[in-house]
Amino acid sequence: MKRVRGFTLMEILVALAIVGIGLAALVGASARATREASGLRDRTFAGWVAQNVLAEIRLSPETLDAGTRSGEEMLGGERWEWTAEITPAVVPQLRHIAIQVRPENTEGSVVTLTAFRLTQPQRQPETVPESP
């Protein structure tokens, strides 16, 4: 009798199971990478919003009093809500600023940025008239 060469049904099933497990792991890793990229994108945009709010507070010519400010900004096609809590610092001339940013209609902040600013804005340097 002549022997026929080839794979048995059991060998084919084992090979398909190994390939299936490998593909399932790849799909899971791909989904995880997509979620992480989305989270990184959100943290980047929230950081930019926080930096914009901080720049506006720092450049404001008004006296910085303790309190809470909040608002919304559009960035990256999304609306971002921010809250700036301004509290007295240990040094009486300073204010501590804590800005929290999150996507609209969500709980918890994505980014929190803290900084300090003088209570009174710094004076503008005097300009010296040019001599002829």
Other C-beta atoms closer than 10 Å to the C-beta of 11 total 10
For residue range 7-30, list pLDDT tens digits in order: 888 999 999 999 999 999 999 999
d(CA 120, CA 71): 23
d(CA 117, CA 119): 6
As its CATH architecture, domain 9-118 has: 2-Layer Sandwich (3.30)
Find the range with the poorest average confidence among 56-60, 115-119, 124-128.
124-128
Single pTM value for the model = 0.71
Domain ranges of the chain: 9-118
Q: Which residue has the higher pLDDT, 2 or 93?
A: 93
With cut-offs at 50, 70 and 90, classify the pLDDT of residue 3: confident
Q: Which amino acid is at 1?
A: M
Name, in order, each residue with C-beta under 8 angstroms of 57's C-beta and a sequence gap of 6 or more.
64, 69, 84, 86, 97, 117
- The number of residues in the chain equals 132
For residue range 46-89, list pLDDT tens digits in order: 999 999 999 999 888 888 889 999 999 999 889 999 999 999 99
